[in-house]
């Protein structure tokens, strides 16, 4: 039998990413493919840089989307800034700090780990102790928004500490960009990477990155070649750099870039600060609904990430069965716990286009129906609790 075209089901994506992609972005993806050196495309690339500078709140020249997902943005930062033997202080309070350690070691560097419990923030005191104990460290690396736990660390304070001890910072902003306050220039962040499928609500496959002058100088003055040909910024910039004549490096993922461009245009129309406020607002409504139902959030209130809510699974409830029913009966995707939180939490994302009153209420309603027979929740109150938050701001 001949295989037919693939038609995906219509889901509501409220997990840790990808998030729902807006119809405007989907329409942009379907526009005709043109050449990657076509003057019209090159004009779009110049706009892309401006739009990313807007989203990151930076004037950094070296700002562009790496042609691969968030993990490749992470790798781009590490392979370009590190040389064999370099020491990096890596903060770990969830899954992604562990990947940073892998990156450091694969670059021939030495990772000094600063560990905090999953579900808590990166502790600036521990970081300061590590910086004092390792005056030869070159970089401090940390995750701003830990998607595996729903925790937001204090990127501004951590960056200040690093600079006080003459270290560069590498910041993972995959889940924070577009969802929660992030100011690359005001906080003086040296190197940062993000992803498109979280709060920017574009499809996965691109990783916006930005490097300040200080980081760019370190890269220019390297003694050894960057170990990755594909991610070597000295080469990539022949294509993404402005002013200079663009030269072929690799074929840009043209249509995916149309999609990111459109999602950033949408962000600009809404206003970055308004997007941050929208994520905080719907987080409050979701939280009110979950708590009214009798469910509890994992993370302490002051440390919570609005766009990723880790919900403690009540005793006696079958984690996977609930998620399967949500998907099958409600076409709703929420995330499972990872690592030490597997089976202990659900992760409900409120990211980008998926962060709306409609989705908050749909999620609460669906969860309530699936949990109705378990006896662990209070019925009939969650949606009203969320609505009262939604009505509070007119």
Q: Give the residue, chosen from 15, 65, 69, 337, that forms a contact with ligand PLP under the rule CB under 6 A.
A: 69
Does residue 319 contact residue 394 with C-beta atoms inside 8 Å? no
Instruction: Count interface residues toward ligand PLP (CB under 6 A).
Output: 12
- Whichever of 137 and 206 has its CB closer to ligand PLP, that residue is 206
Convert residues 181-200 into a mask of x (bound to ligand PLP by CB under 6 A) and - (unbound).
Answer: --------------x-----
Closest residue by Cα to residue 332 from 102, 4, 19, 5:
19
Q: Give the residue, chosen from 71, 120, 188, 255, that forms a contact with ligand PLP under the rule CB under 6 A.
A: 71
Please tell me whether residue 331 binds ligand PLP under the rule CB under 6 A.
no
Does residue 14 contact residue 333 with C-beta atoms inside 8 Å? yes
Map the footprint of ligand PLP across residues 201-220, applying CB under 6 A.
204
Please tell me whether residue 116 binds ligand PLP under the rule CB under 6 A.
no
Closest residue by Cα to residue 94 from 71, 120, 69, 130:
120
Q: How far is the CB of 171 from ligand PLP (least distance, A)?
A: 10
- Whichever of 114 and 143 has its CB closer to ligand PLP, that residue is 143
Q: Residues 170, 172, 176, 180: what is their CA dihedral angle, to the nearest 10 degrees?
A: -30
Map the footprint of ligand PLP across residues 28-57, applying CB under 6 A.
none
Q: How far is the CB of 179 from ligand PLP (least distance, A)?
A: 11
- Whichever of 70 and 109 has its CB closer to ligand PLP, that residue is 70
Q: How far is the CB of 393 from ligand PLP (least distance, A)?
A: 28
Q: Give the residue, chosen from 20, 123, 172, 262, that forms a contact with ligand PLP under the rule CB under 6 A.
A: 172
Closest residue by Cα to residue 146 from 83, 100, 87:
100
3-state SS of 202-248 is CCCCCEEEEECHHHHHHHHCCCCCCCCCCCCHHHHHHHHCCCCCCCC
Length of the chain: 394
Stretch binding ligand PLP (CB under 6 A), from 54-62, 68-76, 117-125, 356-364:
68-76
Q: What sign results for the dihedral spanned by CA atoms 71, 73, 75, 77?
A: negative
Q: How far is the CB of 126 from ligand PLP (least distance, A)?
A: 20
- Whichever of 71 and 228 has its CB closer to ligand PLP, that residue is 71
Stretch binding ligand PLP (CB under 6 A), from 67-75, 78-86, 221-229, 339-347:
67-75
Please tell me whether residue 174 binds ligand PLP under the rule CB under 6 A.
yes
Q: How far is the CB of 66 from ligand PLP (least distance, A)?
A: 10
CA geometry: angle at 306 spanning 305 and 307, to 5°?
95
Preceding peptide of 318 cis, ω within 30°: no
* Euclidean distance between CA atoms 61 and 350, whole angstroms: 31
CA geometry: angle at 56 spanning 256 and 20, to 5°?
45
- Whichever of 305 and 371 has its CB closer to ligand PLP, that residue is 305
3-state SS of 369-387 is HHHHHHCCCCCCCHHHHHH
Task: Give me the residues that bind ligand PLP (CB under 6 A), please.
Answer: 17, 69-71, 96, 143, 147, 172, 174-175, 195, 204
């Amino acid at each position: 039998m001949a295989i037919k075209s693939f038609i995906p089901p219509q889901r509501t994506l409220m997990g840790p990413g990808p998030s729902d992609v807006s119809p405007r972005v989907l329409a942009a993806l379907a526009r005709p493919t043109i050449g990657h050196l076509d003057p019209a495309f090159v004009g779009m690339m110049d706009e892309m840089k401006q739009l990313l500078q807007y989203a990151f709140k930076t004037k950094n020249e070296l700002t562009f989307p790496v042609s691969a997902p968030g993990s490749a943005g992470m790798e781009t930062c590490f392979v370009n800034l590190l040389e064999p033997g370099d020491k990096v202080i890596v903060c770990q309070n969830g899954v992604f700090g562990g990947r940073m350690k892998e990156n450091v070691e694969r670059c021939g560097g030495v990772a000094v780990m600063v560990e905090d419990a999953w579900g808590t923030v990166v502790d600036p005191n521990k970081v300061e102790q590590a910086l004092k104990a390792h005056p030869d460290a070159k970089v401090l690396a940390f995750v701003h928004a830990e998607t595996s736990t729903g925790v937001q660390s204090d990127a501004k304070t951590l960056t200040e500490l690093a600079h006080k001890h003459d270290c560069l910072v590498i910041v993972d902003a995959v889940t924070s960009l577009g969802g929660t306050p992030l100011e690359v220039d005001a906080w003086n962040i040296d190197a940062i990477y993000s992803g498109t499928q979280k709060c920017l609500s574009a499809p996965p496959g691109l990783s916006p990155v930005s490097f300040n002058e200080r980081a760019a100088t370190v890269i220019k003055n390297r003694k050894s070649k960057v170990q990755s040909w594909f991610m070597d910024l000295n080469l990539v910039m022949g294509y993404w750099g402005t002013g200079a004549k663009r030269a072929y490096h690799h074929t840009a993922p043209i249509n995916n870039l149309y999609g990111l461009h459109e999602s950033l245009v949408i962000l600009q129309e809404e206003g970055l600060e308004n997007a941050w406020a929208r994520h905080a607002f719907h987080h409050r409504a979701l939280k009110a609904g979950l708590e009214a139902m009798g469910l509890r959030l994992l993370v302490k209130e002051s440390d919570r990430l609005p766009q990723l809510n880790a919900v403690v699974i009540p005793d006696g409830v079958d984690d996977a069965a609930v998620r399967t029913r949500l998907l099958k009966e409600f076409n709703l995707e929420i995330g499972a716990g990872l690592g030490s939180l597997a089976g202990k939490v659900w992760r409900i994302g409120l990211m980008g286009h998926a962060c709306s009153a409609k989705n908050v209420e749909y999620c609460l309603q669906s969860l309530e129906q699936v949990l109705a027979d378990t006896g662990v929740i209070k019925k009939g109150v969650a949606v009203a609790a969320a609505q009262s938050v939604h009505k509070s701001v007119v």
